[in-house]
Chain A
């Protein structure tokens, strides 16, 4: 596991989601499940790995809360928990907001810099806030 300024405990939910999605086969499974539910056999088809290996991957996704399987149905199709994925999108939005804040500071710096070339002054846009 990667060490970082924030060191989440091994078993925290956020960490489980990211770890689950760190594997290319699992990411591919999630991508395929985003269009429709599928059985383990259907999921295993395109991969050159054993059914057991696919079941292990599924277990990791299940433990992370990314997928669920109905207990009663005969086929026991795997279902993607879209809400958890949506939360991932939210995290990226936060990162985006921080980057945007940084670049608004850069906007200010650019406005305060003297023009050192022959370009025309940009039209005044009123007070900056």
Chain B
């Protein structure tokens, strides 16, 4: 395990259906920004482990749009949205829809903060349209531990 003092921070706002993710990187904003806009680079890190990511198109500029597909065990999940505002090395504002839930849309804002000395902090905010949707997203991240979680909850509820 690498030592790090800047683990990803997740905050679920109690008053808004928002998830906020904060993380710092040992690279200047220009580089971190490029890793978010160049599909060839994006493919190398965005998809969950064990999932192939196919990029249909990724036109990361103000007014542009994107669509990519995650493939795992022959199952395809499409995601698409458009780029509302893109400011080089500073900001990406985009919509995000998982095509399995075509009426659902999140508004995502990703800010790149220059920390100096070649370091960058990104602050990502994802606004969805209900607390249920937000919580479903939080739960969806726990593939590996889901059974354990259920079992522990069962125990608690039975206790």
Residues in chain A within 8 A of chain B (CB atoms) = 1-6, 12-14, 17-19, 21-22, 27, 31, 65, 81, 83-84, 87, 90-92, 94-96, 98-111, 113, 115-117, 119-120, 122, 128-129
Could you say which of B100, B149, B153 contacts A5, with CB atoms under 8 Å apart? B100
**Seed contacts A13-B157, A102-B46; 7 additional CB < 8 Å A-B pairs:** A18-B136, A21-B135, A95-B142, A100-B8, A105-B45, A110-B35, A111-B27
Contact B41 A92, beta carbon cutoff 8 Å: no
Residues in chain B within 8 A of chain A (CB atoms) = 2, 7-10, 12, 14, 21, 23, 25-28, 30-32, 34-35, 41, 44-46, 48-49, 77, 98, 100-101, 104, 118, 130-133, 135-142, 144-146, 149-150, 152-154, 156-157
Contact A94 B131, beta carbon cutoff 8 Å: no
Could you say which of A14, A22, A31, A128 contacts B130, with CB atoms under 8 Å apart? A22
B31: chain A residues within 8 A (beta carbon): 110, 113, 115-117
Contact A113 B139, beta carbon cutoff 8 Å: no
Could you say which of A4, A90, A94, A101 contacts B136, with CB atoms under 8 Å apart? A4
Could you say which of A91, A94, A107 contacts B26, with CB atoms under 8 Å apart? A107
Contact A4 B101, beta carbon cutoff 8 Å: yes
A92: chain B residues within 8 A (beta carbon): 10, 12, 138
CA distance A93 to B134 in the complex (A): 15
Interface SS of A by simple majority? helix
Contact A18 B100, beta carbon cutoff 8 Å: no
Contact A109 B142, beta carbon cutoff 8 Å: no
B104: chain A residues within 8 A (beta carbon): 2
Separation in Å of the A104 CB from the closest CB of chain B? 8
Could you say which of A98, A107, A119, A122 contacts B141, with CB atoms under 8 Å apart? A98
Contact B132 A87, beta carbon cutoff 8 Å: no
A12: chain B residues within 8 A (beta carbon): 150
Of chain B, the residue at the smallest CB distance from A86 is B156
Could you say which of B23, B30, B131, B150 contacts A21, with CB atoms under 8 Å apart? B131
Are A96 and B41 also in contact (CB < 8 A) when A3-B101, A13-B154 are? no
Separation in Å of the B24 CB from the closest CB of chain A? 9
Contact B10 A99, beta carbon cutoff 8 Å: yes
Separation in Å of the A8 CB from the closest CB of chain B? 8
**What would 25 A/B residue contacts be, using CB atoms closer than 8 Å?**
A1-B132, A4-B100, A4-B137, A6-B140, A12-B150, A14-B150, A18-B136, A19-B132, A22-B135, A65-B157, A84-B156, A87-B152, A95-B10, A95-B138, A96-B8, A96-B10, A98-B142, A99-B10, A100-B7, A108-B44, A110-B35, A113-B27, A113-B31, A116-B30, A122-B26
